Amino acid sequence: MNNFGEKVSFIWSVADLLRGPYKPAQYGKVILPLTVLRRLDCVLEPTKAEVLRKYEAMKGGEVKNLEPILNHAAGQAFHNTSRLDFARLKDDPANIAPNLAHYIASFSSRAREIIEYFGFEAEIEKLDKANRLYLAVAKFCEIDLHPDVVPNVEMGYIFEELVRKFSEAANETAGDHFTPREVIRLMVNLLFEPDAEVLTKPGIVRTVYDPACGTGGMLSVSEDYLRELNPQARLEAYGQEYNPESYAICGSDLMIKGQSLENIKFGDSFTADGLPAARFDYMLANPPFGGSERKEIQQNFPIRTGETAYLFLEHFIKMLKAGGRAGIVIKNTFLSNTDNASVSLRKLLLESCNLHTVLDCPSGTFQGAGVKTVVLFFEKGSPTKKVWYYKLDPGRNLGKTNPLNDDDLAVFVELQKTQTDTDRSWSVDVADIDQATFDLSVKNPNNGDEVAHRSPVEILDEIEKLDAESFEVLAKIRALL
């Protein structure tokens, strides 16, 4: 297996073993944790003997906390004290279930905690009863997932593609999970490029945060960017994720890279913010679209709205350091919606941050999103004076088999450096926009483009929001009578 596609296809082929006991929507409950376990197994294999030797020599001795010592012996932020590995599990088919449970329990505490988020213990019993557990483990023995064979960047792609496939199998959207790496690299480049000179200084430390981090793609690309720019620099990656499986994938990836797992929090960023006092140099996210948050959650925000992505934008503005920069993917209707929350949020963004760039993305950029999107780039601390727009047009319909690529984005990257006006890019002075609505619609004055028409569903959604606001006002008036 020499390329990404072959590796994904091989791992996905494990699904053939699961048909019957598992429905397609359930394949991920088995394949994702086994992929992570095999990855960890391959990472630890070169130092396995030394870890076992050190463990046998020191267990039961005066030193009670052996984890730091064994981590050092493993050369990783984690270790495993079982004599078993995937190869030895395969050698004992009669005891595959208890052996696999023992192997998982023998990981160091933080690694074990990450693995527990998969809830794989119940699947071990189910697979064993269906005579599928040994077959699945034996299949994974055939693929080497050591970072020397499958680099971290490629492994991230593999996880994201697997998650996308499982979402499709379950007839769910992948929009909550999947952001094209080309777009992530673009976002990271625009955030980091202005600091290129500072980031090359020895010992520089910066922080990056994704409050809807999924499997950790944006954090990984940020790390790779800074590592290429300055191997001596340190980027501390922070994130939060509410989906247990995505959290486990993100945590295992960052653990292998040596990042502190204390920085990756599990839970809803709105109801259980794991980093309430922290402030960050960089933030980026592709938050869920179209969510409807409860009233008690909305009360935690100055501008109350049920739209999940809008609350994430408020969260961004709050969590950025002064001078910090951010990139966020959001529905393009945010720029023009006339409900009170949208107007107030645009006003807040323009007055507290420099919204310097709006990238208007074509349909199909984000698979499964179902709506047109824009990427907003801004810097906290000074009000916006001018907004530069770019209307991305790759000249073809985008989709799963025809995704966006780096060449499609090259012109935007080059023009954005000087914010040059062309037939596809233009600038708007904030003083010239409507000060009552703060409408930021994508209207290209260079070729007579009209504002993009919204879909009937989006129009109905806005009507519902306006009706809900009217109902609240009427209820308050009624209470006064």
Q: What is the pLDDT of residues 417-429, one digit of tens each?
A: 999 999 999 999 9
Max mean pLDDT among 160-169, 247-256, 400-409 falls in 247-256
pLDDT in tens, 66-107: 999 999 999 999 999 999 999 999 999 999 999 999 999 999
Find the mean pLDDT for residues 186-195: 92
Residue 346 has pLDDT above 90, yes or no: yes
| pLDDT at site 179 | 81
How close are the terminal C-alpha atoms of the chain, in Å? 74
Q: Which of 33-42, 368-377, 397-406, 469-478 has the lowest mean pLDDT?
A: 469-478
Residue 49 has pLDDT above 60, yes or no: yes
Residue 453 has pLDDT above 80, yes or no: no
Residue 432 has pLDDT above 70, yes or no: yes
Per DSSP, 124 falls in state H
Residue 174 has pLDDT above 50, yes or no: no
Cα–Cα distance between 418 and 193 in angstroms, integer? Answer: 13
Write out the two tokens for 167: 């979402």
Beta bridge partners of 377: 327, 357
3-state secondary structure (DSSP) of residue 233: coil
Find the mean pLDDT for residues 118-140: 96
Beta bridge partners of 472: none
Write out the two tokens for 197: 């000179």
Record the pTM: 0.84
Residue 22 has pLDDT above 70, yes or no: yes
Could you please report the per-residue DSSP string of 297-314? HHTTSSS--SBHHHHHHH
| pLDDT at site 474 | 72
3-state secondary structure (DSSP) of residue 383: coil
Please count the CA atoms within 13 angstroms of the CA of 477 that sit on its side-chain side.
Answer: 6
Find the mean pLDDT for residues 13-41: 93
Find the mean pLDDT for residues 266-273: 93
3-state secondary structure (DSSP) of residue 287: coil
Burial level of 148, CB count in 10 A (0-12/13-18/19+)?
exposed
Find the mean pLDDT for residues 277-299: 89
Cα–Cα distance between 41 and 34 in angstroms, integer? Answer: 10
Q: In terms of Cα–Cα distance, which of 279, 314, 312 is closest to 207?
A: 279
Cα–Cα distance between 255 and 267 in angstroms, integer? Answer: 18
